[in-house]
Chains A and B, each alone.
Chain A
Amino acid sequence: MTVERQPGDLRAALAKTIVGQEGVLEALLLALLSNGHVLLEGPPGLAKTLACRSLAAALEGDFKRIQFTPDLLPSDIVGTRIFDQRESRFATVLGPIFANVVLADEINRAPAKVQSALLEAMQERQVTIGPESHVLPDPFVVMATMNPLDSEGTYALPIAQMDRFLMKINVGYPTREEELQILDRFAMADTQPVRCVATLDDVRAWRAAAHAVHVDEKLKRYIVDLVAITRAAQSVAVKSAGGACLKAAELIDYGASPRATLALAFLARGRALLDGRDFALPDDVRAVAAPALRHRIGFNYRLATENVSADVVIDAMIAAIPAP
């Protein structure tokens, strides 16, 4: 008798290695189920690399880490052609992007042409080296990180490029209890990532199942309303740190694109599947709304001058739309 493996098994396996960081783990799994990529923003040392490595190990997949630096070239990521003197012909050497799970560390440290090379590969799921096109492995998940503490010598990602990421997660520090568990798990013992919980075929099957998750008409309208309010948020009020009452529309230059609408639907379906359901609920949409929207909204300078957090504005807009 074979036991059918579920995405929840993978989450449980990752949780045996990673302490806390449920948001990061869920984002990784949702990206896997929705065939998307994740942008992580947070300080160093918060188990981002370990999470990616653990995911790849649990899936029997390949893992590659690319440290983005100012002198990085596109060929360092996608690969290049070198001349083989013995064979007297050019041979293609594939870059580190050819892996199932890729960690693009500090993506904003590389110049725009390198970022573009990565983001194009993420979108097209293939790269062209010389005259040949090479299809990237399937599944293919990129987890890119940005460090918010140290912005000197960085190249900001344009919103049009950030839009390629399915979701953006703000990674926070662990709680005191979690930090104690981290000590026990990694300083007092030698915890290794759990291996071979699922196969790449399982992932493809889960992805098909996620695609079949039912999204009710009421839920579709809710999704569209959530995205629409980011473009016309005159009725949404937010409070600045100084206590001033502002209209959210005054802080926003442009709202989320239709790609955000699709992302919300994909992520809600993935979350429903993770929860063992074959139909999505308003809770699924609301849970993924902030990660799906926060990097797709163009905030203006007033956000900084009024000392308002972008997440406060996004939460206010989400709260302004009643769930069905």
Chain B
Amino acid sequence: MARKLTAPLILVAVACLASAGIGRGQTLQRLTVQAFLLSADTMQPQVDVPFHVVVTLHVRERVSAINNLQLPMLAQLELLGDERQTVTDPRGTQYREVVTVVVHDAGRFAIAPATLQAIDARDGKPKQWFTNDLPLSVHSSATHIANGVAAGLFRDIARIVAALIWLALLVGAALLMIFLLRRRTPGAPVPVAEPVSYQRMPSEAEQRRHQIEDALLVLRAERTRSAAVRVRAAVWRIIGAPEGETLGDVLRRPGCSEGPLRDLLVALERSAFTYDEDLAAAVDDAGAALERYAEALT
């Protein structure tokens, strides 16, 4: 159980960290989004076999980092690694994040789109971009082998060989085209793509509610001191409280001294510092307080 929960916990923390800046009124980056994609190296991963989910973003501007990019909630997956790369060249910036994951249960599910919040440099308006979603069909190893045997080993080999030939031809053609294009039009600008999708940017209260709901999921799934401490830290980030402050400092912040938020902060403090025998009751209280606060945000 604990293994499966690692990904949601870390991703909740990453998401909270990424969005906490917006909650504090951080300035959005001014970007011209040219491509924003979510992909995986297989759409039919096998149970307990690691694979990669890749977020690719290309913007016209040359920036050192991409802020306010939120990964989807990978609740069904276990996170094994996360590698980010930002490459800047005269044509703009290519951001690539490769998340190595593994899934432990067979079935079909979809990974929700990743989101990016930025000022669209084309019209100066704040927007939210979404990638495509990613439907996955997870096979158990036994199913896969059974299907393979049933389909016939020979047919599989023939398909693989044919696919490899096609792939080699395609790659060769693509390389040739790239070579010719680069020689003819050096430094030609990358064609401008429309944003993959566009919709109203969620309000701060909506974002905060989603984050609180995520935190509630984490606390319900893992009723440990460690989870309570992480949820406490995530909630502090959501409300813009820096690490290293005490509860007293946080309660003195505007809007934190009364109502459901105060109850939530007090309950989380108790779950983080109470004695072991009281932990279960403290986590229950913290969960109830999270629910009440999420309701208050709707």
Contacts of B272 in A (CB 8 A): 216, 218
A143-151, A160-168, A273-281: which lies at the interface:
A273-281
Partner pick for A282 among B246, B270, B274, CB 8 A cutoff: B246
Measured CB to CB, the closest approach of chain B to A87, in angstroms, equals 57
Of the residues A286, A287, A322, contact of B243 by C-beta under 8 Å = A322
Q: Which residue of B lies closest to A284 (CB)?
A: B246
| Interchain nearest-CB distance for B250 vs A (Å) | 10
Q: A214-B275, A278-B275, A279-B278 are contacts. A323–B270 as well, Cβ < 8 Å?
A: no
Specify which chain A residues have a CB less than 8 angstroms from the CB of B247 in the assembled complex.
281-283
For the complex, is A229 an interface residue (Cβ under 8 Å from B)? no
B117-133 contact mask (Cβ, 8 Å, vs A): 1 or 0: 00000000000000000
Asked if B273 and A279 make an inter-chain contact with CB atoms under 8 angstroms apart, the answer reads: yes
A263 within 8 A of B: no
**Beta-carbon contact of B275 and A279 below 8 Å:** yes
What's the Cα separation between A283 and B245 when bound, in Å? 9
B85-123 vs A: 1/0 string, CB under 8 Å?
A: 000000000000000000000000000000000000000
User: B273 to chain A: which residues have CB within 8 Å?
Assistant: 214, 216, 218-219, 279-282
CB–CB A286/B248 < 8 A:
yes
**What distance in Å separates the Cβ of A121 from its nearest Cβ neighbour in chain B?**
36
Which of B243, B245, B246, B274 is A279 in contact with, Cβ under 8 Å? B274
In contact, B248 and A283 (Cβ under 8 angstroms): yes
Report yes or no: A323 in contact with B269, Cβ–Cβ below 8 A: no
* Beta-carbon contact of A323 and B245 below 8 Å: yes
In B232-268, the 8 Å CB interface with A consists of 243-248
Contacts A214-B275, A278-B275 hold; do A283 and B270 have CB atoms under 8 A apart? no
- Residue in chain A with minimal CB distance to B229: A218
CB distance from A162 to the nearest CB of B (A): 27
- Interface bits B130-155 vs A (CB < 8 Å: 1, else 0): 00000000000000000000000000
- Closest residue of chain B to A282, judged by CB? B246
Chain A's closest residue to B273 (CB) is A216
* Cα of A170 to Cα of B278 in the assembled complex, Å: 37
CB proximity to B under 8 Å, residues A197-211: none
A265 to chain B, nearest CB (A): 14
Chain A's closest residue to B282 (CB) is A279
CA distance A173 to B166 in the complex (A): 88
- Contact mask A293-324 → B, CB, 8 Å, 1/0? 00000000000000000000000000001110
Query: How far is A323 from B229 in the complex, measured between Cα atoms in Å?
Result: 13
B274 near A286: Cβ-Cβ < 8 Å:
no
| Interface pair A279/B248, CB less than 8 Å apart | no
With the chains together, A287 CA to B246 CA distance in Å?
10
Q: Which residues in A have their C-beta under 8 angstroms from that of B270? A: 279
Q: How far is the CB of B253 from chain A (nearest CB, A)?
A: 14
With both chains docked as a complex, state the minimum distance between the C-beta of A277 and any C-beta of chain B, in angstroms.
8
List, in ascending order, chain A residues with CB within 8 A of B246's CB. 281-283, 286, 323
Q: By the criterion CB–CB under 8 Å, are B243 and A281 in contact?
A: no
Q: Is the CB of A323 within 8 A of B275?
A: no
Q: Is the CB of A214 within 8 A of B244?
A: no
Chain B's nearest CB lies how many Å from the CB of A271? 12
CA distance A295 to B11 in the complex (A): 46
Q: Looking at the assembled complex, report how far the CB atom of B263 sits from the nearest CB atom of chain A, in whole angstroms.
A: 15
Give every chain A residue within 8 A of B269 (Cβ-Cβ): 281
Closest residue of chain A to B277, judged by CB?
A214
Q: Which of B246, B247, B272, B274 has the most CB of A within 10 A?
A: B246
Q: Which of A25-47 contact B (CB under 8 A)?
A: none
CA distance A42 to B269 in the complex (A): 36
A238 to B269, CA, bound (A): 31
Q: Which residue of B lies closest to A219 (CB)?
A: B273
Taken residue by residue from 83 to 125, chain A's Cβ proximity to chain B (1 for < 8 Å, 0 otherwise) reads as 0000000000000000000000000000000000000000000
For window 202-237 of chain B, which residues contact chain A by CB distance below 8 Å? 229
> A323 near B274 (CB under 8 angstroms)?
no
Nearest Cβ distance between residue A210 and chain B, in whole angstroms? 14
Closest to B247 in A: A283
Alpha-carbon distance A218/B248, docked complex (angstroms): 17
Query: Looking across the interface, which residue of chain A has its beta carbon closest to that of B244?
Result: A322
Report the nearest B residue to A279, measured CB to CB. Answer: B274
Taking the closest CB of chain B, its distance from the CB of A264, in whole angstroms, is 14
Chain A residues near B (Cβ < 8 Å)? 214, 216, 218-219, 278-283, 286-287, 321-323
Residue contacts A-B, CB under 8 angstroms, 18 given: A214-B274, A216-B273, A218-B272, A218-B273, A219-B273, A278-B274, A278-B275, A279-B278, A281-B269, A282-B246, A282-B273, A283-B247, A286-B246, A286-B248, A287-B248, A321-B244, A322-B244, A323-B245
| Other contacts beyond A218-B229, A279-B275: 20, CB < 8 A | A214-B274, A216-B273, A218-B272, A218-B273, A219-B273, A278-B274, A278-B278, A279-B270, A279-B273, A279-B278, A280-B273, A281-B246, A281-B269, A282-B247, A282-B273, A321-B244, A322-B245, A323-B244, A323-B245, A323-B246
Q: Which 6 pairs across A and B sit closest by C-beta, in order of nearness?
A: A322-B244, A214-B275, A283-B248, A279-B274, A283-B246, A282-B246
